[in-house]
Chain A
């Protein structure tokens, strides 16, 4: 059983479209992170959220941490081909600071 469930598993869209991907759990996280992984590379950290209800923006990417700190979403506005990749959420629970990863959402943005 995955601690973190990500949806959708796959997403194929056209350039310029908006999209939202979700990360859900029944566990409460002390912090939650989003990573992007490109083929042949390791995951790269995009953002860390720690406070329930927190919203962070990174250019066209908006990250939200749920009020109860059990879920998170990533919204991309006007997606570009360069956004293509595997988006992973990772959460740390209790006193552990070692992230547990979801299986990711594979995004393809077509020009």
Chain B
């Protein structure tokens, strides 16, 4: 158990819809990272938050947004969903206990867009 909690574990929705994925980082970790994993692209970095502030952006689409709340949990919002958005979405956290490069990943949310 990494200590990172992601919900829901599975999500099935239709094209054009909007979903919210939730992540609770390990206790004490201030950074949250979101990654998307698909068969054709592998594990792609989307966005990072540190203590409530956006810290870095990767290959995140404009239809996607994220935020980190004062209690440090994070949400990834995906809107106007397309078939190609079907993927595994991972949240990871890092912080003073493991050093900033040591990422602890949650079990992921499997998103299926039909």
Contact = CB atoms under 8 A, between A and B. Distances in A.
A43 B56 contact: no
A60 B56 CA distance: 36
Contact of B107 (A31, A40, A96): A40
A2 B105 contact: no
A42 B106 contact: yes
A53 interface: no
Nearest to B56: A98
A42 B108 contact: yes
Highest count of chain B CB atoms <10 Å: which of A2, A42, A88, A101? A42
A92 B92 contact: no
A42 B56 contact: no
B42 A102 contact: yes
B18 interface: no
B101 A92 contact: yes
B12 to A, nearest CB: 16
A92 B102 CA distance: 11
Given A42-B2, A42-B106, A98-B48, A88 B43 contact: yes
B60 interface: no
A104 B43 CA distance: 9
Contact of B33 (A40, A48, A88, A98): A98
Given A2-B42, A44-B2, A98 B58 contact: yes
Interface of B: 2, 4, 33, 35, 42-45, 48, 56, 58, 90, 92, 100-108
11 contacts: A33-B101, A40-B107, A42-B90, A42-B108, A45-B103, A88-B43, A92-B101, A99-B103, A101-B35, A101-B43, A101-B44
Given A2-B42, A99-B101, A101-B44, 17 more contacts: A41-B107, A42-B4, A42-B92, A42-B106, A42-B107, A42-B108, A43-B90, A43-B105, A45-B102, A45-B104, A98-B48, A98-B56, A98-B58, A99-B45, A101-B42, A103-B43, A104-B42
